[in-house]
Structure 1
Amino acid sequence: MLARTPRATEMDFASILKIPPKPAAIAEAERVWRASVAELEAAQAKHRELHRVYFNQVPGQPPKITAAEVDHAGAEIAPFQARETEAQQALEAQRAAFDEEVAALKPKIEAYRAAIAAKIDELEDFITLGSTFYAASVEARVKLPSKMPSRCQSLLGPHGVGMLRKLLNAVD
């Protein structure tokens, strides 16, 4: 036998609407990625410096560095680029997995929205009773001992329950 699915208004939103904890793996992947970026930048800086030294050599003086050494330093950059790319892909995979967890909240948020809409409908019905009661008192020419029923009509207007409904419908 299938269990009855609870209506949105019967759900315990305090326990359902929880942000999933960010996995420590994301922080670790980000640390690894930042370290790989630092290593890549260091290798690139070394290559640039060797390039600068090579091209600033004075003709007629003994060479401080050879073109082969500059090329070797440039060739050493490739493994650092590969590690940086790999670390970035691992970080993106971790973030994507967390984003999927967060995206799983959408049906819960929609249920929450439906519950709010249902409560607004209930509130509107409840306030309509006060407005109808006040209209009956005016028709019967009876002065009520409270002004509250006379305010119900304005609560039904565009700046009361209508505004609540507009605010709810204005968000995705």
Structure 2
Amino acid sequence: MLARTPKATEMDFAAALRIPPKPAAIAEAEGAWREAVAELQAAQARHREMHRSYFGQVPGQPPSITGADVDKAGQEIAPYQQKERDAMKALEGQRAAFEAELASLKPKIDAYRNAIGTKLDELEDLIGVGVLFYAASVQANVKLPSKLPGRCQGMLQHGIAMTRKILNGTE
């Protein structure tokens, strides 16, 4: 019977409520960021190892590494840090663009929510007819040939009311 009722709106929700595909640019940006992080970590590990080697040299033996070598390796970390920051900024930009695209679904979801509310109102009115019919049969002391009108009050209280609570509990 509900299938025969007119649409709450003209919007085709099955077509309108679609998750946009995640852009490949996000995966590429994530890959570039991971690569930049790996390069930064490798440069930092190289600097730490040189630092350990420098301070672990045995006095009285010819030095295998100088303090200048360690300092140079430390200074070489800065470009890797900048590359990692730039890659993260590019990734965040890609993610923000996708999140903006997802945010454009909000009006469609709101319209969907309103359409559900409208259909619940219509269903409540329809089931209310059964409640009134059952009440009239009780007052007339008539046994109806179907249990449906007697169950309408329960449908309103447990089905429609609970569905409306769920609907109202959403954003």
Q: Same fold (TM over 0.5)?
A: yes
Contact kept, 8 Å, 2:17 with 2:109, in 1: the verdict is yes
Alignment partner, residue 82 of structure 2: 82
Within-5 A mapping of 1:1-172: 9-157=9-157, 159-172=158-171
Would you say the 8 A contact 2:40–2:81 is kept in 1? Answer: yes
Structure 1 letter corresponding to 2:150: S
Aligned partners of 2:32 and 2:87 also within 8 Å: yes
Equivalent in the alignment of 1:4: none
TM-score (norm 2): 0.93
Q: Say which SS state the counterpart of residue 9 (structure 2) adopts.
A: helix
The amino acid across from 1:142 in the alignment is V
Query: d(CA) in 2 for partners of 1:163 and 1:155?
Result: 10
Q: Which moved more, 1:135-144 or 1:25-34?
A: 135-144
| Residues 83-109 of structure 1: CA deviation (Å, up to 9, x unaligned) | 110000000000000000001100100
TM-score by length of 1: 0.93
Q: Using the alignment, how far apart are the partners of 1:82 and 1:160 within structure 2?
A: 58
**Structure 1 residue 10 displacement after superposition:** 2.6
Percent identity over the alignment is 67
Structure 1 residue 170 displacement after superposition: 1.2
- The 1-side partners of 2:118 and 2:166 are apart by 14
Q: Deviations over 1:143-168 (max 9, x none)?
A: 111011011112122x2211111011
Once residues 94 and 8 of structure 1 are traced to their aligned partners in structure 2, the CA distance between those partners, rounded to angstroms, is: 36
Q: Is the 8 A contact 2:8 2:119 kept in 1?
A: no
Provide runs of 4+ in structure 1 moved above 2 Å: 7-10
In 2, the alpha carbon distance for the partners of 1:67 and 1:171 equals 63
- After TM superposition, give the deviation of residue 8 of structure 1 in Å: 5.3
Paired residues in the alignment total 165
Gap runs ≥5 in structure 2: 1-6
1:89-134 residue CA offsets vs partner (Å, 9 max, x unmatched): 0000000000000011001000000011111111100000011111
Measure, in 2, the Cα distance between the counterparts of 1:10 and 1:163: 26
